[in-house]
Amino acid sequence: MKKLIAAFTLALSLGTLAYAAEPAKAPADTGASAAVAAPAASPTAPAVAAPSAAPAAKAAAPAPLKKEIKANRAITIGMFAVIVGITMCVVVWAAKKTKTAADFYAAGGGITGTQNGWAIAGDYMSAASFLGISGMISLYGYDGFMYSVGWLVAYITVLLIVAEPCRNAGKYTLGDILSFRTEPKPVRAVAAISTVAVTTFYLTAQMVGAGKLMALLVGIPYKTAIIGVGVLMVGYVVFGGMTATTWVQIIKAGLLMSGAFLLSVLVMAKAGFNPIGFFSDIVNNPNIQDHVSKMVLRDGITMSGVDAGQRFLEPALFMKAPLDQISLGMALVLGTAGMPHILMRFFTVPTAQAARKSVIIAMWIIGLFYVLTTLLGFGAAIHVTPQGISAIDKGGNMATLLLAQQLGADIAPVVGDIFLAFLCSVAFATILAVVSGLVLAASAAIAHDIYVNVIKDGHADQHEQVMAARITSLCVGAVGIVIGITAEKQNVAHLVALAFAVAASGNLPVVVMSLFWRKFNTAGVIAGLVVGTIAAIGLVMVSPNMTYPKVVAAGAQKVITALEAKQATLPPGATLDANDLKALEKAKVDYEKNKDGTSIMGLDKPILKLKNPGIFSIPLGFLAAIIATLAFPSRRSEEMFDEIYVRQNTGIGMAKAIDH
């Protein structure tokens, strides 16, 4: 039966792709996905009139800027089908091994440290990293690199604080860790709600990113792409559980690293494998100089030539407020250690030593990956130019793909098509791997914490537990598809930042204090989770991440004023050119549409000036947990601390690994 169902899922998935290969009847949304951009917000490059999109620094004449990027449909769909076929074979294999709840949620504890390290890297390196970070570097230089430092450093927190203790003290979910010496039912219920909130934010961003990316690159209708991704992720999780999800993430990590490495080699080959020459090319590139000169001019600074090129390698082109960067860094560094789908990975290894090893391996892979994205971002700035990138997508999300297509085409046109198709497939696999891990984390919270331990009071046999997990995964996947379709027109870029902020503000404080503070109790867990989560969500809702119509109207009014002033300076009878007239008309429409509007919270402008609320919400989460613990002490929680302390340091009581 499992083989039959898995085969049906494979057929349905390939059928979806085959349907998608047909030309869409309506033009696809060609706007790049905000969800693919770097998490805090989709960066928007200044509108510039580029003199040239040619990659060479000494281009003889300006080249017209491309307005869209399209992958070769046949090659790309073929690569998609190969990846889907390979991963579905993994699902069929994994389904044979998934018989118990331990198999479904934790692969029976039979994943090695090396395998888990690659899986963690695959779970962590999302499309935001692959496309968004390199895109930010291509448009903002040094600031784009600094944006990635939080992800690069985050696993030090995981290694030093949570990896080994969580593996030894937990079982399948965040609720298992928190409920050990507290009142289990209320704690599991609140922990499950927090887990579902974090995964929903992250899942929505990834699903919208998948739909927009496929529509932009291959012309697959948005809804078709969402349904296809949804069917695949449900198939991975429902039938293969953690074993299938792990191997999908390993495959994805291997593909991603291979693509990034190969493209980085081509970038460095253009510079003669000379790092000094590479950065000299950046400083002396006239397109980068022109791009930076227009950016700094907005701040009232005049800069050109080599000075402008050098400015590209200096801070504050994008992150002009140090406090905002600190807040973002806090959310990323601390939020990673509180992400439910990351915590789940430590229950899949047989020993604490393997847990530590998996984190170290993941750190090396992720570290190398961010070094490569730096090369890709700067390489795109040199060879594609910031003007060419922002002409396709003002957020810069297509920079890596444009670079791959161009460097491949320098070898041969078909190589450019193949390379672009390969990286499109890698981006697709990246999203599949991440959403599968998120669905598994959400379904575990609902099925294991709510159904088995709250509703059934822990009295459910293995068959019932596995069935509950599969049904829940199916429901979570279906909801993810519906949310993805519903959110098509929404700006969801802030949801990734919100997921990390909630994890850092709610989950991390209670995990740390559960493991290391003797007095910590039920009141502290509930207060920390509730206050941290609400604070993070509430502050994001009043931050610049939201849309403020009157701010949009004010910007449109500036354009109207400037163009009308320009019109007044023209000779009698002369009019603005076509582009200016179009911009003026659009600005008037935007002004009328937004002049009387307010944000979703009824605000005219943001109350919080920071894009990420971590610097406020994280201390609030810790403070709420501490105050509630001291206000409502529990002798039972204190008495049980010694047991969890021994358990987290020795692994006594942890389920033994099942031999696979």
Tell me if 80 is assigned to some domain: yes
Averaged pLDDT for residues 294-322: 82
Flag whether 541 is in a domain: no
Q: Do the domain assignments include residue 641?
A: no
Domain membership of residue 289 (yes or no) is yes
| Whether 136 contacts 38, CB under 8 Å | yes
Q: Given this model, what pLDDT does residue 654 score? A: 57
- If you write DSSP's letter for every residue of 20-55 in order, what string do you get? HTSPPSS----SPPGGGS-TT----PPP---S---S
Instruction: Tally the domains of the chain.
Output: 1
Q: Is residue 297 part of a domain?
A: yes
The tokens 């039912």 sit on which residue?
185
Q: Is residue 223 part of a domain?
A: yes
Residues in the chain: 660
What are 144-186's pLDDT values in tens digits? 888 777 777 888 888 888 888 888 887 889 999 899 899 999 9
- Summarised one tens digit per residue, pLDDT across range 323-373 is 888 888 899 889 988 999 998 999 999 988 899 999 999 999 999 999 999
pLDDT band for 582, please (50, 70, 90 cuts).
Answer: confident
In the 3-class helix/strand/coil scheme, how is 475-502 assigned residue by residue?
HHHHHHHHHHHHCCCCCCCHHHHHHHHH
Contact 605, 543 (CB under 8 A): no
> What is this structure's pTM?
0.82
Neighbours of 658 (CB within 10 A): 16
Helices (H), 322-412: 322-335, 340-343, 352-383, 386-392, 399-411
Domain of residue 386: give its range: 2-19+72-190+206-329+346-489
Answer whether residue 351 is part of any domain. Answer: yes
Render pLDDT for 76-121 as a digit per residue (tens, 0 to 9). Answer: 889 989 998 999 999 999 999 898 999 999 998 899 999 999 999 9
CATH number at residue 362: 1.20.1730
| 213, 453 Cβ separation under 8 angstroms | no
Q: How far apart are CA 55 and CA 62, in angstroms?
A: 10
Query: Is residue 45 domain-resident?
Result: no
